[in-house]
């Protein structure tokens, strides 16, 4: 049996029970306040844990409702009016839950903002945050205690009715205000996409569309059971997978959630598994890198993972070999590889678009990579003499939703023909907040959303091959940058996951392919060996000449959800951000 590295402190609180003790309803509500009203009649709730797995706060939904109503009255006493936006820097704690649902009851529109986990320093983070606050037109900004010292920089110059921490808000008086009636057509919240930086755009989600997605997730995707289901999450509440999947959806189907802080996950990833084991969690999601961290780190506490029936994968391109390593590593702890549940989604669709059937595990499709690049067709192949690529099937589109793969002329494509993925359905966003031109660019008059993703269909299941904007076109070949990145990270022993960013740069003579590689070697000889090894690998396996630039560890930019952002890496290179370090990569 496997063990977790840190012994856990003795708890002084009891978490809320797994079963709510009431008849299960799967998102059949008109609004999120109505959903919380019903959940408050049962025993389920949120449990907030530290990064070491210590239970810090238990919030039964009945308590959350009372506290949220109190927050709603305080916000309205400030003079905030229904429909105005409240920016909340989203720490994974009870304050966020109280304030978010307080906004729901007050008819205000919360805009969850990221913590500085994936940003390159205080200045860059504050600049990004201020851009989001401006884009949302926020009338109030709430900053958690963990970065309270940055509050003045974050709010400086904005015309706000409130700018401070949760305790400051709760110290304000409560006046004789009347809570508004919240309707299904009202905006529920703004969701900034994980890549929002220079031109942040808030995805505007209505009560109706948010509830439609939560209902589809619970009823059709996860197939939440009448009893026995419990959620465990370390996912950020400022990202759609954490906010919708493990904060809003559980309330709409009366599920208890055990929450770990996102900012501490990378240091102690096995605490996530321990919490699943300890509390008998049945539903938990992660991007591929979360499973990778757990599989590669040593552990010291016995785990029992047979309870985990939905081990969801999403939020990034799925790497099948990482999941295979995780399943092999934790088989002795009772983990069943059939629990892996691939899905596809995006904030513009609230969250989920498709799910694979439960209990089928990871389903793969191995294709001839050169034929895919030159013909745009995913032709099956297992010929070892050919360059191959293995994709993950991401399931069937949710009921009441539609999905099509289209060519540039807008024609629906047959199975295995690559094109742009379009979706339509009741959970799509209203649009990008106060961005009508950007909204029209992706949403047509018939309600179809251009996802910006490329993919193909197999027997009713969608396979996502990458983002259209990341595609590299060389001599008529469509090259996916992640193919090169994964080859280097898999074949070169000195590299780790997310150590490589590949993109192209337009030049007079055509596109130049560049690979930024995080290097831990301390000598010029070792750095030169790594550079040559990578360049030769790209040429040998992919037939592409790549300019390899070595950079220090921890310098590749990530989105707020932990995904590599090639666009920002390219912009940093072109601005000269990497020039001074390309020859002087340092030790981690």
Cα gap 157→160, rounded to integer Å: 9
pLDDT tier at 421, thresholds 50, 70, 90? very high
Q: Tell me: pLDDT of 5 over 60.
A: no
**Contact (Cβ atoms closer than 8 angstroms) between residue 461 and residue 393:** yes
pLDDT tier at 372, thresholds 50, 70, 90? very high
Best-predicted range by mean pLDDT (256-265, 318-327, 484-493): 256-265
Residue 496 placed within a domain: yes
The residue that leads in pLDDT, 489 or 405, is: 405
Instruction: Give the CATH number of the domain where residue 421 resides.
Output: 2.30.38.10
Instruction: Give the CATH number of the domain where residue 528 resides.
Output: 3.30.300.30
The pLDDT value given to residue 86: 98
Best-predicted range by mean pLDDT (415-424, 462-471, 497-506): 415-424
Mean pLDDT calculated for residue range 541-568: 84
Q: What are phi and psi of 315, to 5 degrees?
A: 85, -10
CB crowding 306-337: b at 16 or more within 10 Å, else e: ebbbbbbbbbbbbbbebbbbbbebbeebebbe
The pLDDT value given to residue 196: 46
The pLDDT value given to residue 3: 43
Q: What is the pLDDT of residues 100-130, one digit of tens each?
A: 999 999 999 999 999 987 666 788 889 989 9
Cα gap 162→180, rounded to integer Å: 20
Do residues 484 and 570 share a domain? yes
Q: Tell me: pLDDT of 583 over 60.
A: no
Mean pLDDT calculated for residue range 311-334: 91
Residue 286 placed within a domain: no
Domain end residue (candidates: 445, 469, 493): 469
pLDDT tier at 476, thresholds 50, 70, 90? confident
Cα gap 195→560, rounded to integer Å: 7
Share of the chain above pLDDT 70, in %: 94
The residue that leads in pLDDT, 565 or 262, is: 262
Out of 78-87, 325-334, 390-399, 557-566, least confident range: 557-566
**Residue partners of 322: CB distance under 8 A and separation at least 6:** 288, 289, 291, 292, 295, 497
Q: What is the pLDDT of residues 452-470, one digit of tens each?
A: 999 999 999 999 999 998 8
Closest CA to 350 of 423, 418, 299, 408: 423
**Contact (Cβ atoms closer than 8 angstroms) between residue 80 and residue 106:** yes
Residue 400 placed within a domain: yes
Do residues 458 and 484 share a domain? no
The C-alpha angle with vertex 508 and arms to 507 and 511, in degrees rounded to 5, equals 40
Residue 17 placed within a domain: no
Do residues 517 and 562 share a domain? yes
Residue 377 placed within a domain: yes
Do residues 422 and 393 share a domain? yes
Mean pLDDT calculated for residue range 272-299: 93
Do residues 450 and 496 share a domain? no
Please count the structural domains in the chain. 2
Closest CA to 434 of 139, 137, 206: 137
The pLDDT value given to residue 403: 98
Terminal alpha carbon distance of the chain: 31
pLDDT, averaged across the chain = 92
Strand order in the sheet with 419-424: 402-406, 419-424, 449-458, 461-467
Residue 321 placed within a domain: no
**Contact (Cβ atoms closer than 8 angstroms) between residue 340 and residue 364:** no
**Contact (Cβ atoms closer than 8 angstroms) between residue 165 and residue 142:** yes
The pLDDT value given to residue 120: 62
Q: What is the pLDDT of residues 340-366, one digit of tens each?
A: 999 999 999 999 999 999 999 999 999
Do residues 498 and 418 share a domain? no
Do residues 396 and 439 share a domain? yes
The residue that leads in pLDDT, 301 or 583, is: 301
Q: Tell me: pLDDT of 373 over 70.
A: yes
Q: Which residues pair with 513 in a beta bridge?
A: 504, 546
Q: What is the pLDDT of residues 524-554, one digit of tens each?
A: 999 999 999 999 999 999 999 999 999 998 8
Do residues 506 and 495 share a domain? yes
Q: Three-state SS across 150-163?
A: HHHHHHCCCCCCEE
Mean pLDDT calculated for residue range 556-583: 74
The pLDDT value given to residue 118: 62
Q: Is 382 exposed, middle or buried (0-12, 13-18, 19+ CB in 10 A)?
A: exposed
Mean pLDDT calculated for residue range 257-262: 96
For residue 19, how many other CB atoms are within 10 A of its CB? 18
Out of 149-153, 471-475, 492-496, 582-586, least confident range: 582-586
Q: Tell me: pLDDT of 316 over 80.
A: no
The pLDDT value given to residue 564: 77
The pLDDT value given to residue 121: 78
Do residues 575 and 555 share a domain? yes
Mean pLDDT calculated for residue range 375-399: 94
Closest CA to 295 of 260, 319, 262: 319
Do residues 478 and 574 share a domain? yes
Cα gap 169→78, rounded to integer Å: 10
User: At how many degrees (to 10) do helices 288-296 and 270-279 cross?
Assistant: 90
Do residues 544 and 482 share a domain? yes
Residue 535 placed within a domain: yes
Mean pLDDT calculated for residue range 301-328: 91
Q: Tell me: pLDDT of 64 over 80.
A: yes
pLDDT tier at 194, thresholds 50, 70, 90? low
Does the CA dihedral 390-442-400-210 come out positive or negative?
Answer: positive
- Look up the domain containing 536 and give its range: 471-581
Cα gap 300→298, rounded to integer Å: 7
Q: If DSSP codes are grouped into helix, strand and coil, which group holds residue 58?
A: strand
Do residues 490 and 457 share a domain? no
Quick one: DSSP state of residue 472?
E
The pLDDT value given to residue 461: 98
**Contact (Cβ atoms closer than 8 angstroms) between residue 334 and residue 327:** no
The pLDDT value given to residue 300: 73
Out of 362-371, 388-397, 549-558, least confident range: 549-558
The pLDDT value given to residue 344: 96
The pLDDT value given to residue 199: 73
Q: Tell me: pLDDT of 11 over 80.
A: no
Cα gap 404→421, rounded to integer Å: 6
Q: Tell me: pLDDT of 10 over 60.
A: no
- Number of H helices and E strands in the chain, helices first, is 18, 27
Domain end residue (candidates: 418, 448, 469): 469
The pLDDT value given to residue 509: 66
Cα gap 518→520, rounded to integer Å: 7
The pLDDT value given to residue 586: 38
Residue 457 placed within a domain: yes
Domain end residue (candidates: 469, 486, 508): 469
């Amino acid at each position: 049996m496997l063990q977790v590295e840190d012994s856990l402190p003795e708890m002084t609180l009891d978490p809320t029970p797994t079963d709510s003790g009431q008849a299960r309803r799967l998102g059949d509500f008109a609004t999120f306040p109505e959903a919380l009203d019903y959940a408050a009649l049962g025993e389920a709730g949120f449990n907030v844990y530290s990064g070491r797995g210590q239970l810090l706060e238990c919030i039964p939904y009945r308590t959350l409702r009372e506290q949220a109503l109190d927050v709603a009255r305080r916000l309205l006493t400030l003079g905030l009016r229904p429909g105005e936006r409240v920016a909340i820097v989203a720490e994974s704690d009870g304050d966020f839950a109280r304030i978010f649902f307080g906004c729901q009851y007050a008819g205000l529109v919360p805009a969850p903002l990221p913590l500085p986990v994936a940003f390159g320093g205080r200045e860059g983070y504050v600049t990004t945050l201020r851009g989001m606050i401006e884009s949302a037109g926020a009338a109030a900004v709430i900053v958690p205690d963990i970065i309270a010292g940055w509050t003045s920089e974050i709010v400086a110059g904005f015309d706000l009715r409130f700018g401070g921490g949760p305790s400051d808000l709760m110290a304000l008086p409560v006046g004789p205000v009347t809570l508004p009636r919240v309707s299904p057509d009202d905006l529920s919240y703004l969701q900034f996409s994980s890549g929002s930086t220079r031109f942040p755009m808030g995805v505007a989600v209505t009560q109706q569309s948010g509830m439609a997605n939560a209902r589809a997730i619970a009823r059709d995707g996860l197939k939440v059971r009448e009893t026995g289901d419990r959620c465990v999450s370390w996912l950020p509440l400022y990202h759609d997978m954490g906010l919708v999947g493990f904060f809003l959806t559980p309330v709409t189907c009366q599920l208890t959630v055990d929450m770990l802080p996102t900012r501490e996950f990378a240091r102690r990833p096995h605490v996530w598994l321990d919490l699943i084991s300890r509390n008998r969690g049945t539903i938990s999601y992660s991007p591929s890198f979360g499973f990778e961290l757990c599989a590669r780190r040593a552990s010291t506490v016995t785990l029992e993972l047979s309870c985990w029936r939905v081990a969801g994968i999403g939020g990034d391109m799925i790497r099948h070999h990482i999941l295979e390593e995780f399943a092999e590593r934790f088989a002795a702890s009772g983990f069943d590889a059939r629990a892996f549940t691939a899905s596809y989604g995006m904030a513009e669709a609230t969250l989920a678009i498709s799910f694979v059937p439960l209990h089928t595990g990871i389903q793969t499709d191995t294709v001839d990579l050169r034929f895919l690049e030159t013909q745009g067709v995913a032709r099956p192949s297992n010929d070892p003499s050919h360059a191959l690529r293995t994709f993950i099937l991401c399931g069937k589109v949710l009921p009441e939703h539609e999905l099509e793969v289209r060519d540039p002329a807008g024609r629906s494509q047959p199975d295995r023909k690559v094109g742009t993925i379009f979706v339509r359905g009741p959970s799509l966003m209203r649009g990008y907040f106060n961005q009508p031109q950007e909204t029209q660019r992706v949403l047509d008059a018939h309600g179809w959303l251009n996802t910006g993703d490329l993919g193909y269909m197999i027997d009713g299941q969608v396979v996502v091959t990458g983002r259209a904007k990341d595609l590299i076109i060389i001599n008529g070949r469509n090259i996916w940058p992640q193919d090169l990145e994964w080859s280097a990270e898999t074949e070169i022993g000195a590299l780790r996951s997310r150590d490589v960013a590949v993109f192209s740069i337009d030049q007079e003579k055509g596109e130049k392919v560049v690979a930024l590689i995080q290097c831990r070697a301390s000598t010029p000889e070792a750095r030169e060996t790594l550079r040559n090894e990578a360049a030769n690998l790209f040429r040998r396996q992919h037939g592409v000449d790549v300019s390899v630039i070595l950079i220090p560890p921890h310098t590749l930019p990530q989105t707020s959800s932990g995904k590599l952002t090639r666009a920002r890496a390219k912009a940093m290179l072109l601005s000269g951000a990497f020039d001074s370090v390309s020859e002087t990569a340092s030790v981690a």
